[in-house]
Amino acid sequence: MDIKKIFEDPRVKMLEEDIAQWNNGCSYNDEECHVMEYLLLSRRRVLAELNVYDDDMKRLLTEFNEALRKACTELYHRVIVTYEKLSKQEEDFGELEVDGKIFLDFEYSPLHPIQTQRAKEVWDALTQGFQKLYDDGCAWPLYIRGGETPAGPRGLLEWLGMEDENDNWNEGLDREWSKDMHLVQPFHNLYDHLNFSLYDLIFVREFNLEVNVKYDGNILIANGKEPHQ
């Protein structure tokens, strides 16, 4: 897999140059956001045509999937621990709700073979506000209130989309190549519903975890976006 050659494709270069230019001067009005969403989608489609389904790609995607699963598991338990701790306090601030979100690292991965300013601008555009679905992060909404278990009665496995041992969220990939990878639902969300390409994801190993505490619908404590490695 020659990633540098892939990013030298004229279509990719043209789209990334446009994305970087728009990202630098964008004021985030509706028209500019629409243009950026179109550019990001077009880039993802071109890169999907250039996917290389070889052993290197499989190894890197497996490592990303495992890192994502571990970070999601940590967030899930943080939400539960935070809720249990606050629910035992004597103060009554109203109905307690704790929610959690997971995001890809805001910083462009130093592991990526492409370390140009253009690549960093594209990563900024992908992660900093042009994808409305990404406002909730990589995964389905995660919250706990009234003592209920986050994501339903099956808990963590249900939230990850891994209730069955054969679950594998590999839509959009070569099915034969990826049939045994056990990809989690948050990967599917990033790859199939957002505008991240495989080449954007496979070098990510760090994530940001956000936990918010609400009383009667009002955010009282924002735990911030803490790094996970």
Three-class HEC string of the chain: CCHHHHCCCHHHHHHHHHHHHHHHHCCCCHHHHHHHHHHHHHHHHHHHHCCCCCHHHHHHHHHHHHHHHHHHHHHHHHHHHHHHHHHCCCCCCCCEEEEEEEEECCCCCCCCCCCCHHHHHHHHHHHCCCCHHHHHCCCCCEEEECCCCCCCCCCHHHHHCCCCCCCCCCCCCCCCCCCCCCCCHHHHHHHHHCCCCHHHHCCCCCEEEEEEEEECCEEEEEEEEEEEC
pLDDT band per the 50, 70, 90 thresholds, residue 153? very low
- Counting residues of the chain whose pLDDT is more than 90, the rounded percentage is 63
Specify the pLDDT at position 26: 75
Give 176-219 pLDDT, tens digit per residue: 999 999 999 999 999 999 999 999 999 999 999 999 888 775 65
The more confidently predicted of residues 27 and 57 is 57
Global pTM exceeds 0.95: no
